[in-house]
Structure 1
């Protein structure tokens, strides 16, 4: 083990909140006149939910979106008071605290409506409720066949004074493929659901269908509100069509680690488990103290790019639980030097999208998985425009 006087963490995630604000402003302009919801579920896609939420509000995001109740209540506990939608629950969860905190809840079924009504009665206030129609994703929401019953239940609850129905929404399955026929089919189904609700006497203020990809590529899907998650963090939701830079977005997260050990090895040296990498010359190896316990994909083995010792290289051999190895060649390096796994890509470092391509996945997974023994810090870059 090599020790030194540096106080830098062995591995850290640095999140630039100026980049988040820049991205939110960019998305607001792209979606206008529709309002913007920034989705901060899953700890802000790994970026820090509370900090990202504050930055998003500062940049003009009218809404925040979360998946589960504890996320919504954590935001309220942190002082957030703006419109906040929660959409994923299971039977028997305690809804009263969310109703008391003015969190907007989502109903998929008449039973969901009944549960919200019971919570509203418990706390003695009108609950704010949105209805979700499954237009073809096959996840949460009422099917078209069940939709009239959900609308009827919500109308009855409204008539009884227990709920205010504020929105109707759905979610697209193939928006990252703008030409996919499912997009037209789902938008048509959404419009049919809106017509059914309106005919029954329900036309809430907020109608929303578009996620990041649709918000940027499908104007007809924007309605009153768009829900942007990935794009708010600066990552392209349509990387096969346009990069983050081409969309005017700046990736907010940089993942780094400090070399734990540097050593010279002879040619023919096997590296990491299984010796899937063998040196073809005398070379310098560097041990990077992060692995799959930190969320680094094991599929990054041998393929994921890194910036180390001033040059691009790749993970050498298999990713281990706590560490990975890089072949530094003859570049000068010392224990304690920084290795960049990925970042915005503005100074030659790899990006999360490059990691996603190398690992056969999507950038969502790259950023949301990281944690473990990484530390996370939030900075606010002094650049007036982080895109410059």
Structure 2
């Protein structure tokens, strides 16, 4: 007996399957948000597409952002920059989380601009550039209060003078001076004042050392929109690109970019007092219908959101009850006579203006920030890129 005769072909399986979860990415919204920040800031935009485009697809997001008006792309690592190049993206790219063990040679050869905040790293870049016979393009970073990356103010003059010396021999070209703000999300001008002063002083030191950078950039999304003094000649836009409101207490006409949907895979009618999920900490208050949704913390649904979060089901908000499992969550779909059916669409993250749960709400339920939610979606969640602005 041929046991393989009744097995569907792989092509048939692929053509008929339906993913448990879809993360739809609205490229028209990305283009809109890019243009909005560029217009508001009135200086060129660098679109930050690190962490796989905040979890949405780095190359796809990058192409749309450039089409929407961004003049450059920003990533954290050299590997991310090289991935953009391997995707055929030729736009200006800055990688800022760099050390001497990074793939400096390929980065320099492919025109990736490198962030640099130590003389040690500068010397490593210079050595690779000389070996290749190519001038490396670097952005010197000064720490202006974040105490994270960036040169300590006490070592800044030495770094600038070393870079200027290497410029004279053609090993490097300092094309940018930059820093990162610690309090860009705050609306009061005092939140960024000291950083602006420190950055301005650093630019003067660089000029005195003989450096003539093409761009000075300090502002991230929040500062680009709310703090004019931080804009200088370029702004770096990450969260605002994806429709995340970047300034506490302010609302800008940014469009939501992502929509996360799933479906009901099982319904269970239960009496009052039924314990739900691991630990039995949640019990139903009345007779109700429980809907099983095939998404869990392995897919990026925060475990902390159990008993807090809501989803949209049949046009109404329904609460997530019990603990979120690795692969599943449970929703209280309402009375026993509920009209919910297996296969119904469930909107986990959608458009707040339409009454759907938004990304900011999920961040609140999980006691985190929207960016952590975005970058947490797992590989089982299928990405779908939509919109006329999408670049094929």
Pairwise TM-score range, normalised by the shorter structure: over 0.9
1:25 paired to 2:35? yes
Tell whether 2:188 aligns with 1:176: no
Measure how far apart 1:123 and its partner are.
2.0
Query: Once the two structures are superposed, what CA deviation does each residue of 1:285-317 show, in whole Å capped at 9, x if it has no partner?
Result: 001111111111111111112112321122111
Equivalent in the alignment of 2:64: 55
What is the alpha-carbon distance in structure 2 between the residues aligned to residue 125 and residue 318 of structure 1? 56
Q: For the residues of structure 2 that align with 1:168 and 1:161, how far apart are their CA atoms? A: 18
For 1:358, the equivalent position in structure 2 comes to 365
SS in 2 for 1:318: coil
CA distance in 2, matches of 1:29, 1:83: 20
Within-5 A mapping of 1:230-241: 230-238=239-247, 240-241=248-249
Matching residue within 314, 321, 325 for 2:326:
321
Question: Does residue 338 of structure 1 match 2:348?
Answer: no
Instruction: Give the CA deviation at 1:179.
Output: 2.2
Alignment of 1:34-49 (within 5 A): 34-49=43-58
Is contact 1:295–1:372 with CA below 8 Å preserved after alignment? no
Count, aligned residues = 374
Report what 1:375 is aligned to.
Answer: 382
For residue 268 of structure 1, give the secondary structure of its aligned residue in structure 2: coil
TM-superposed deviation, 1:6:
7.0
Q: CA deviation at 1:122?
A: 2.4
Give 3-state SS (helix, strand or coil) of 1:357's partner.
helix
Please give the alpha-carbon distance, in whole angstroms, between the structure 2 residues aligned to 1:203 and 1:124.
22
What's the CA shift for 1:372?
Answer: 3.4
Is the 8 Å Cα contact of residues 235 and 249 (structure 1) preserved in structure 2? yes
Instruction: Find out whether 1:201 has 2:206 as its counterpart.
Output: no
CA distance in 1, matches of 2:235, 2:100: 28
1:113–1:157 Cα contact (<8 Å) kept = no
The TM-score with structure 2 as length reference comes to 0.92
Select 2:261's aligned residue among 238, 256, 269: 256
Task: Choose which of 130, 143, 157 in structure 1 pairs with 2:166.
Answer: 157
User: Following the alignment from structure 2 to structure 1, what is the Cα–Cα distance between the partners of residues 100 and 239?
Assistant: 29
State the secondary structure of the residue aligned to 1:369.
coil
Distance 2:78 2:297 in 1: 28
The CA deviation at 1:242 is: 2.1
2-structure distance, mates of 1:233, 1:40: 10
RMSD: 1.6
| CA displacement 1:48-86 (0-9 Å, x = unmatched) | 100000000111110100000111011111111111100
Q: Alignment partner for residue 10 of structure 1, among 5, 10, 20?
A: 20
- Partner of residue 385, structure 1: none
The runs of 5 or more residues in structure 1 that have no matched partner are: 383-388
Larger displacement relative to structure 2 (224-233 or 362-371): 362-371
Q: After TM superposition, where is structure 1 displaced by more than 4 Å over at least 4 residues in a row?
A: none
**Counterpart-to-counterpart distance in 1, 2:316 and 2:167:** 62
Partner of 1:386: none
Shift of 1:190: 0.4
Find the aligned partners of 2:255 and 2:105 in 1 and give their Cα distance. Answer: 39
SS at match of 2:383: strand
Aligned residue in 2 for 1:116: 125
Residue in 2 that maps onto 1:95: 104
Aligned to 2:3: none
Map of 1:133 onto structure 2: 142
SS at match of 1:146: helix
Q: Residue 283 of structure 1 corresponds to which residue in structure 2?
A: 288
**2:354 partner SS:** coil
- In the alignment, is residue 78 of structure 1 matched against residue 100 of structure 2? no
Distance in 2 (CA, whole Å) between partners of 1:344 and 1:99 is 42
